[in-house]
Chains A and B, each alone.
Chain A
Amino acid sequence: MGVFEFMVGKKKPTPGEVAKERLKVVLVHDRLKVSPETLNLIKKELIGVLSRRLEVDEELVQINLTREAGYDKLQADIPIKRQRVTFDWDPPAYTPSEEVLRGRINIEDDEGTHD
């Protein structure tokens, strides 16, 4: 292993590595008691906030809870298409309404009211 790796390109993870990665994710969810729905809501909210300043590639956004070096953490991979040059409106510092915080309103719906 190792020497010829560069010839083959990136190696497929072994079942042992897969187990470790899956465990990391499942344990953080267990510990923090964050459900996949909650994580999905966090993802939507993040996209909502960032979209005010940047053009986020929503399809490719990845949000994970994981554990590294003894810390539980939220890992977000947020690809950006290009920098937004103009704004139709200049949003104020973001303060979510109570409905958004409680997850009753989707960010997308919220945004729709601004034009």
Chain B
Amino acid sequence: MDSRIITITSGKGGVGKTTTTANLGTALALQGKKVAVVDADIGLRNLDAVLGLENRIVYDLVDVVEGQCRLRQALIKDKRLPDLYLLPAAQTRDKNAVNSVQMEQLCQQLRQEFDFVVIDSPAGIEQGFRNAIVGADEIIIVANPEMASVRDADRIIGLVEAAGKPEPRLVLNRLRPEMVKRGDMMDVADVLEVLGIDLLGIIPEDEAIIVATNKGEPAVYDKRSRAGRSFVNAALRLLGEEIPLEDVVSEAPSLLEKLRRLVGFGPAPADRRLRSQSS
């Protein structure tokens, strides 16, 4: 099968790896792909909660690797999408419970079953990170437009290169258009100039992400969420569609639009593709 294994990583913690994994995975499944999302953050399980599958876990990644269960027993089917599956991380073990060889074998097994395997890497550059990238065909780096995140992303680019993987692509997450306009935050071009890699997506800061996580329902389902729509576009770019990069900064909703939305008038900025999916 012509499947793709994609690892989402960042170096720094808290920049949105898990959110990106959940949203890209869901968006790909919405496009009719058979997708497995894998939580490789062993000991700090979270992807299950973002997808709203936290109380369905019986077996986990470590159980599969240690042969306590079969892969199919550990895979959790999504509530809404029949072609989306989660392989959860173990919560009671640590990052050293799995080694690179086991992880590579697991990836090969998943490759047999799925079109896309999206792996959520732990933060850091230790064994957990190495495990997460060892079986990957492609790497996506998530970064926020701020010093620490971009610096760590640069370090990860170097490590990915050293591991012999193709050049990673960037998801620039949590961009705040108003701050960029004021010159208080680095712009997309600034980050790209510094890092020198290709851009897969620009995701504006969006409160809807927290709401979505609270509900256990990725933002790509929320047609009003700007971040959700940007994640859909990033997923479509992964599929090779030529979707122009959003001009997040100048497209930021004006005060009038915000007011209108507050009152409930005016068109909700829905993504046509998603709309046609649901109708």
In the complex, whether B182 has a CB less than 8 A from a CB of chain A is: yes
Binary flags per residue of A1-22, CB closer than 8 Å to B gives 1, else 0: 0000000000000111101101
B147 contacts which chain A residues (CB < 8 A)?
Answer: 19, 22-23, 26
By CB atoms of chain A within 10 A, which of B155, B184, B185, B194 has the most? B194
The docked-state distance in angstroms from the alpha carbon of A31 to that of B151 is: 10
A31/B158 contact (C-beta < 8 A), A20-B194, A23-B147 known: yes
Does B126 belong to the interface (CB within 8 Å)? Answer: no
A16 near B187 (CB under 8 angstroms)? yes
Determine if B154 is an interface residue (Cβ-Cβ < 8 Å): yes
Q: Is the CB of A30 within 8 A of B183?
A: no
> Which among A14, A15, A20 has the highest number of chain B CB atoms within 10 Å?
A20
Other-chain residue from A17, A31, A70 in contact with B183 (beta carbon distance below 8 A)? A17
Cβ of A43 under 8 Å from chain B = no
B193 on interface, CB distance cutoff 8 Å: yes
CB-nearest residue of chain A relative to B184? A15
- Which residue of chain B lies nearest to A69 when distances are taken between CB atoms in the complex? B193
Within 8 A of B (CB), among A50-86: 67, 70
Closest Cβ of chain B to A32, distance in Å, is: 11
Nearest B-chain residue to A1, judged by Cβ: B183
With both chains docked as a complex, state the minimum distance between the C-beta of A94 and any C-beta of chain B, in angstroms: 35
Of A14, A15, A30, A70, the contact of B154 (CB 8 Å cutoff): A30
List of B residues within 8 angstroms of A44 by Cβ: none
Interface pair A19/B158, CB less than 8 Å apart: no
A16 contact from B154, B155, B190, Cβ within 8 A? B190
How many chain-A residues does the 8 Å CB contact rule pick out?
15
Taking a contact as CB atoms under 8 Å apart, the answer to whether B187 and A27 are in contact is no
Residues in B neighbouring A19, C-beta threshold 8 A: 146-147, 185-186, 190
Q: Known contacts A14-B184, A16-B184, A16-B185; is A26 also within 8 Å of B151 by CB?
A: yes
The answer to whether the Cβ of B266 comes within 8 Å of any Cβ in the partner chain is no
**B149-192 with Cβ < 8 A to chain A:** 150-151, 154-155, 158, 179-180, 182-187, 190
Q: How far is the CB of B76 from chain A (nearest CB, A)?
A: 40
Q: Shortest beta-carbon distance, A104 to chain B, in Å?
A: 32
A-B contact pairs, 16 of them (CB 8 A): A14-B183, A15-B184, A16-B184, A16-B185, A16-B190, A17-B183, A19-B147, A19-B185, A19-B186, A20-B190, A23-B151, A27-B194, A30-B151, A30-B155, A31-B154, A67-B194
Residues of chain A touching chain B, judged by Cβ–Cβ distance below 8 Å, are 14-17, 19-20, 22-24, 26-27, 30-31, 67, 70
Q: A16-B180, A16-B186 are in contact. List 10 more A-B contacts (CB 8 A).
A: A14-B182, A14-B184, A16-B185, A17-B190, A19-B147, A19-B186, A24-B194, A27-B151, A31-B158, A70-B196
Nearest first, the 7 A-B pairs at minimum CB distance are A14-B183, A20-B190, A16-B186, A15-B184, A16-B183, A27-B154, A19-B186
